[in-house]
Structure 1
């Protein structure tokens, strides 16, 4: 995994982030990774191509929130998303990780071992979920 620290996002990172947030928010979210010390953005490259990214916000030394996680569609289902979460658990002394997501990602988080709680309809017709994971 490689930490992304550039002030300018490359097009592949922007495309990946667009899978995890609204396209019109990509630049704003990327800027937060570049400017806020509590946020980190990592990517995985295979044969020189960026295939995934994970963005995290550290709430304190023991708690983190996954803000964005994305894998190129053709690379999904290969354990890449899980490996990024394991990287965070191994490389940071965090005790719990949280994520808020929609129904499309609930299965991914559940398979990893996150506990899922419905937050109800946060937007009209869109149910949101809080996912919590206790690091062992």
Structure 2
């Protein structure tokens, strides 16, 4: 895994990012990472191809929040997402990592060992979940 330099966003990365948000929001969300010193993007490659990424926000030195995470659809279920979460935790010596997600991704976090808290219908027709993991 490597951190994505602020201005070096590969075109195929945009498509991968769209799986974590909408295509209409991709450029806006990437710009938020570029413009913020508290946000970091990491890409995961297989055979020199970007197949996954994780975007995090620094809450404190020992607590990060996952803002975006995605793996190419045909490679999901192969522990790439778990490897990315583990990488971020180890690289930054975290004691706590969290995320907010929807029904589509909550099982990924639950399987990893996150405590899942149902937040209810935060947006009309969309249930949200707070996922928290104590590292170590």
Q: For the superposition of Structure 1 and Structure 2, which TM-score range results when normalised by the shorter chain? A: over 0.9
CA distance in 2, matches of 1:90, 1:8: 24
Matched, 1:62 2:62: yes
Distance 1:39 1:94 in 2: 15
Partner of 2:3: 3
Residue 28 of structure 1: aligned partner: 28
After the TM superposition, which residues 120-135 of structure 1 pair with which residues of structure 2 at under 5 Å, given as runs? 120-135=120-135
Q: Which runs of 5+ in 2 are unaligned?
A: none
Q: TM-score, normalised by structure 1?
A: 0.95
Aligned length: 136
Structure-2 residue corresponding to 1:109: 109
Q: Which runs of 5+ in 1 are unaligned?
A: none
TM (norm. structure 2) is 0.95
Aligned CA RMSD, in angstroms, stands at: 1.0
- On the 8 A contact 1:7/1:31 being kept in 2, the answer is no
Q: Distance in 2 between matches of 1:122 and 1:9?
A: 31
Aligned to 1:85: 85
Q: Output one character per residue of 1:8-46: Cα deviation in whole Å (capped at 9) or x when no partner.
A: 532221111111112211111101111211111000111
Displacement of 1:59: 0.8
Question: What's the counterpart of residue 100 of structure 1?
Answer: 100
**8 A contact 2:6–2:33 mirrored in 1:** no
Higher deviation after alignment, 90-99 or 107-116: 90-99
CA distance in 1, matches of 2:124, 2:9: 31
Instruction: Give the secondary-structure state (helix, strand or coil) at the position aligned to 1:59.
Output: strand
Aligned partners of 1:95 and 1:7: how far apart in 2? 30
Secondary structure in 2 matching 1:29: helix
